[in-house]
Structure 1
Amino acid sequence: MSPDYVRYRDDLEQLQPGEAETTAKLTEMMRGFSEAMNTRYRHAVRSVHSKNHGLLVGELEVYEGLPGRLAQGLFARPGRYPVVMRFSTPPGDILPDSVSTPRGLALKIVGPEGAEMVEGHGGEVTQDFVFVNGPNFGQKDAAGFMKGQKPIQLTVNAPEELKVVASLGARLADSLTGGKGKLSPMLRKLGGHPHTHPLGETFYTQLPHRWGDYVGKLSLVPVSAHLRRLKDQHIRVVGETDALRDNIAAVIAREGGEWELKVQLCADERTMPVEDASVLWDEGLSPFLAVARVRVAPQDSARPDKLVYGDDRVSFSPWHAQAAHRPLGAVMRARRAAYRMSADFRREHNDEPMTEPRSQADLPRP
């Protein structure tokens, strides 16, 4: 029997005490990251997720016959839409891959005309989802989010060599815990992530979105056999500055890839809260259910024009969204200002246009 899924209502969100002040401080902190990197590279990059490990151009197919609870918003009816996928890692620095941090993936869907968009995205047709290769965000709210950025703030101007050494120490410490200790998420964030292949990872939004009449979190799961075989596969990074980019490019050039997009609907607002981002939603109570498939034909994911597009000519934000998929919760609200600042900073400092695509013609060729 299906759970009695929680219906969306406005009071599922509750502003936190001091949230506006915290968001302003977080955004200013992120701007400091952007300014430091702009000074270092003489070019503006993202405040976070600066290093581009590959850009893929493909298609999303919404499945036919979805039950009503899944057939919501962009997924209310079958359809095919162009997509771009950008693989990244979290730091604002563009570091050698020996500094190993969690893997990120941003998905931009170029949807149909006429959908109602969230405020600030009116008139556009894109829907973005931002993923990381772990199901749990870890911090409770915007204040926790900012606290989690403090170690990065303290080391933003540290020499690259020191960050490489610190990454090795973090990885050794994480290995001693078996990757399951309470400190493991922080150790991995600071450079202790195992040297695994990004194409074998399952990615999660970690944070909730509105799902039409419901509320959900999303995952993107590799389904191609050659991608599934890459799960936990070790990548050699010693002496390789762009090992992740090169390994992704080699696989995609040969065989392309397919992923399944899934949603986990909220089934209990007490144990699957919207405002406490630290709570891992129980998959036993509500499993991830497939709604669409992303297909990418063989292509060069590291072609220079694609990398420039992904770095300088497009932005990804969970607030590039249909109203039916509006981001929810304090951390998502904090992201709104921070992501906008990062995109505006790049737009102001780089001599590159930055507009949302409206059709396949606006995307790089595969």
Structure 2
Amino acid sequence: MLKKFWLCLGDWLGKILLLALAVGLGGWLIGSLFYSWKFSGPVSLEEQIPVTEKADTQAIIADAIRVVEQHRDNTRVLRDAHAKAHGCLRAEVSVRGDIDSDLQHGVFSQPGHSWQAWVRLSNGNAYPQFDRVRDARGMAIKLLDVPGQKLTANPAHAAEQDFVMFNHPAFFVRDVAEYRSNFAAQAEGKKVLAFFPGWDPRHWEIRHLAIALKTLSPAPDSPVATTYNSVAPFKLGPLNIKYRVIPAPENCPAYQLPEQNRDLPNFLRNALYQQLSLDQTPACFTLQVQRQNADFYMPIEDPSVEWDEAISAFESVADIRLLAQDFDSPAQNIDCDNLSFNPWHSLPEHRPIGGINRLRKAVYEAVSAYRLDRNGALRAVY
């Protein structure tokens, strides 16, 4: 009798397992077919601005200021994202001598020309947490003494060209409307609910949650040992492009970083200080661009979609060299905190495009002005 019971139970559980497997495979197939249809070209070459974007932007600015006040460090107001810097570093950015003629626009218009620059390396969180905590990592580049009219009206940035990146190729929201909902939930401390705005599964953002979890990656051995991506698109003359920065140790003297104590709260700063300050060894990167091919699904308005490298490969346009230097002084750290990076500190040839970049213009300017005013810094130092 007992044997018969166990055989029946096993048969019943086997059937349930097969049914669950069939449902899972069916769901995967349906999802694959849906996304293959949804993420198919062609796409527009032009920006498309939703009618609600202005109102959504103002709401996000209010939440961003609320976040910087929540995370203020004693008397100083920090950034609403990428609050913790590993260092601000003097650098040289040299345009490749063999740059393709189609890419010779803006700061890349003169092959062989070198720009002096500041590079800020950072964690992504709005609060300065331990480096070992899973997080995004950021790189911001500010080219100096760049002639020409800029997109920003602020005279403090009239001679600058900024590039802003972090170390994942896709963003965790598709547009400003979703960012408003997501950021409002995070500002309330409801991080998981940011991707589940209601009980209706049609509004759940499972794919975007997966992107966010991938973005929160373990720390690299050093801030100079990871790739940084623009995520959002930009103009390069008449072209629509994305850009990235990849490590290029082959362009610098050979160097082996000593093993770091990853339990230290600031081991990424320590790694930079070890290489650039103590061992006096520069670090090298390559700046690359990827052209939009509008015949395929390479949208301007959805930065959650990674442009396929198999369709459009990245092309190298410039070399970046972080100079050997002593950067970790109290005065320079304060100056670093007062630096303002914004992709709209830009020549028209590098104009940011897409909803997330339009949002950045308003939010970065508002939060930067608020932060610098509260900190007693009337303008960025550099």
Q: TM-score range by the shorter chain?
A: 0.7 to 0.9
- Which TM-score applies when normalising by structure 1? 0.79
What does residue 223 of structure 1 align with? 248
- How far residue 294 of structure 1 moved from its aligned partner, in angstroms, is 1.0
Task: Give aligned-pair identity as a percent.
Answer: 25
Q: Is the 8 A contact 1:266 1:272 kept in 2?
A: yes
Matched residue SS, 2:120: strand
- How far residue 230 of structure 1 moved from its aligned partner, in angstroms, is 8.2
Residue 22 (1) aligns with residue 72 (2): no
What does residue 274 of structure 2 align with? 250
- How far residue 333 of structure 1 moved from its aligned partner, in angstroms, is 0.5
- How far residue 100 of structure 1 moved from its aligned partner, in angstroms, is 2.7
Residue 283 (1) aligns with residue 283 (2): no
- How far residue 148 of structure 1 moved from its aligned partner, in angstroms, is 3.6
Residue 306 (1) aligns with residue 332 (2): yes
Which residue identity does 1:245 align to in structure 2? Answer: R
Q: Is the 8 A contact 1:45 1:346 kept in 2?
A: yes
Matched residue SS, 1:112: coil
Q: Deviations over 1:26-63 (max 9, x none)?
A: 1111010122223x522111111110111110111112
Matched residue SS, 2:90: strand
Q: Is the 8 A contact 1:23 1:142 kept in 2?
A: yes
Which residue identity does 2:109 align to in structure 1? Answer: A
Aligned match of 1:141 in 175, 192, 197?
A: 175
What does residue 94 of structure 2 align with? 61
Q: Is the 8 A contact 1:72 1:212 kept in 2?
A: yes
- How far residue 270 of structure 1 moved from its aligned partner, in angstroms, is 4.9
Say which is worse superposed, 94-103 or 330-339, in terms of deviation.
Answer: 94-103
What does residue 153 of structure 2 align with? 120
- How far residue 82 of structure 1 moved from its aligned partner, in angstroms, is 0.7
- How far residue 92 of structure 1 moved from its aligned partner, in angstroms, is 1.5
- How far residue 235 of structure 1 moved from its aligned partner, in angstroms, is 5.5
Higher relative contact order (CA 8 A, sep 6+): 1
Say which is worse superposed, 297-306 or 280-289, in terms of deviation.
Answer: 297-306
Aligned match of 1:265 in 291, 310, 313?
A: 291
Q: Indicate the structure (1 or 2) with the bigger Cα radius of gyration.
A: 2
Matched residue SS, 2:308: coil
Say which is worse superposed, 243-252 or 214-223, in terms of deviation.
Answer: 243-252
- Structure-2 separation of matches of 1:329 and 1:269: 18
What does residue 137 of structure 2 align with? 103
Q: Deviations over 1:75-111 (max 9, x none)?
A: 1113111111111112221222233311111111114
Which residue identity does 2:227 align to in structure 1? Answer: T
- Structure-2 separation of matches of 1:341 and 1:227: 42
Matched residue SS, 1:331: helix
Residue 31 (1) aligns with residue 65 (2): yes
Matched residue SS, 1:311: helix
Q: Is the 8 A contact 2:89 2:118 kept in 1?
A: yes
- Structure-2 separation of matches of 1:227 and 1:336: 38
CA RMSD after TM alignment: 2.7
- How far residue 186 of structure 1 moved from its aligned partner, in angstroms, is 2.6
How many residues end up aligned between the 2 structures? Answer: 318
- Structure-1 separation of matches of 2:321 and 2:259: 25
- How far residue 188 of structure 1 moved from its aligned partner, in angstroms, is 5.2
What does residue 328 of structure 1 align with? 353
What does residue 10 of structure 2 align with? none
- Structure-1 separation of matches of 2:331 and 2:58: 34
Which residue identity does 2:262 align to in structure 1? Answer: V
Which residue identity does 2:232 align to in structure 1? Answer: L
- How far residue 128 of structure 1 moved from its aligned partner, in angstroms, is 0.5
Residue 210 (1) aligns with residue 244 (2): no
Residue 342 (1) aligns with residue 375 (2): no
Distance 1:153 1:269, change over 3 A: farther
Which residue identity does 2:332 align to in structure 1? Answer: K
Distance 1:121 1:351, change over 3 A: closer
What does residue 319 of structure 2 align with? 293
Matched residue SS, 1:241: coil
- Structure-1 separation of matches of 2:152 and 2:292: 24
Q: Is the 8 A contact 2:172 2:212 kept in 1?
A: no
Distance 1:108 1:291, change over 3 A: same
- Which TM-score applies when normalising by structure 2? 0.76
Matched residue SS, 1:155: coil
Q: Is the 8 A contact 2:47 2:353 kept in 1?
A: yes
Matched residue SS, 1:309: helix
Which residue identity does 2:57 align to in structure 1? Answer: T
Distance 1:227 1:219, change over 3 A: farther
- Structure-2 separation of matches of 1:140 and 1:301: 37
Which residue identity does 2:248 align to in structure 1? Answer: V
Distance 1:131 1:241, change over 3 A: same
Q: Is the 8 A contact 1:126 1:320 kept in 2?
A: yes
What does residue 262 of structure 2 align with? 237
- How far residue 289 of structure 1 moved from its aligned partner, in angstroms, is 0.6
- How far residue 277 of structure 1 moved from its aligned partner, in angstroms, is 1.5
Distance 1:228 1:200, change over 3 A: farther
Matched residue SS, 2:181: helix
- Structure-1 separation of matches of 2:130 and 2:369: 26
Aligned match of 1:46 in 79, 82, 85?
A: 79
Q: Is the 8 A contact 1:248 1:301 kept in 2?
A: no
Q: Is the 8 A contact 2:285 2:320 kept in 1?
A: yes
